[in-house]
Amino acid sequence: MLKIMSFVRIWVHAVWATKKREPYLEDKKIRYAMFEHISENCRKKDIYLDQLNGWVEHCHATISLAADVSIAKTMQID
């Protein structure tokens, strides 16, 4: 009997921006603290974080989700 296994990989490019695109992340200490916070959340939620970067008013992340996890739930950062 032939068994077929499915494989699902969902990639998401998430972008967060500061309110009114104000340069709140200009201070590298604040920006890197935010990056660490996002990275820690990904580790806690078993989310594969491929890339994380940003600039003074926004942040980008490329993440991979499991098939049974919603994008909406993933984007809720505690």
Q: Which pLDDT score, from 0 to 100, does residue 45 have? A: 84
Q: Which CATH number is associated with domain 10-74?
A: 3.30.70.1290
Percent of the chain whose predicted confidence (pLDDT) is above 70: 97
Domain ranges across the chain: 10-74
More confident residue, 69 or 61: 61
Is the pLDDT at 46 greater than 80? The verdict is yes
In Å, how far are 17, 21, 30, 38 from 59, measured between CA atoms? 6, 11, 12, 10
Q: Which pLDDT score, from 0 to 100, does residue 16 have? A: 92
Beta bridge partners of 54: 59
First to last CA, the chain: 46
Is the pLDDT at 73 greater than 90? The verdict is no
Say how far apart CA 3 and CA 6 lie, in whole Å. 10
In Å, how far are 2, 18, 27, 29 from 76, measured between CA atoms? 40, 16, 24, 23
Mean pLDDT across 58-76: 85
More confident residue, 50 or 72: 50
